[in-house]
């Protein structure tokens, strides 16, 4: 089974030991090869980093930049492009 990870889930997982137990369990039990990150998540995180930079919290922004770089490396080959045509596709269960 494949899973598309949303921004709120990957952000929760980033908390490490403070992460919600259900989210931690999901990532612990999941096969990494089945986890995918939609490109929009990268955009949402990038927008959040820009907000932090505008508040002049540069060290915090740098921390988030490093996390995002790590995410992109971890999910290399598993970052899913999504456009209007993708949104029109029928769910697999309906085929």
DSSP label of 19: S
Length of the chain: 95
pLDDT for position 83: 82
pLDDT of 92 strictly over 60: no
Looking at per-residue pLDDT, the higher value among 83 and 58 belongs to 58
In tens, the pLDDT along 67-88 reads: 999 999 999 999 999 888 877 7
- State percent of the chain over pLDDT 70: 94
Interval 31-35 mean pLDDT: 95
Closest by Cα among 54, 41, 40 to 11: 41
Place of tokens 């996390």: 67
User: How many CB atoms within 10 Å of residue 14?
Assistant: 15
CB 72 within 8 A of CB 36: no
Average pLDDT (2-8) is 93
- DSSP-derived secondary structure letter, 93: G
Domain residue ranges in the chain: 36-84
């Amino acid at each position: 089974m494949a899973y598309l990870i949303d921004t709120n889930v990957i952000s929760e997982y980033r908390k490490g030991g403070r992460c919600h137990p259900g989210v931690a369990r999901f990532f612990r039990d999941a096969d990494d090869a089945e986890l995918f990150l939609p490109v929009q998540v990268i955009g949402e995180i990038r927008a959040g980093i820009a907000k932090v930079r505008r508040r002049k919290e540069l060290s915090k922004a740098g921390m988030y930049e490093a996390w995002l770089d790590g995410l992109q490396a971890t999910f290399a080959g598993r970052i899913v492009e999504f456009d209007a045509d993708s949104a029109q596709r029928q769910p697999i269960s309906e085929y």
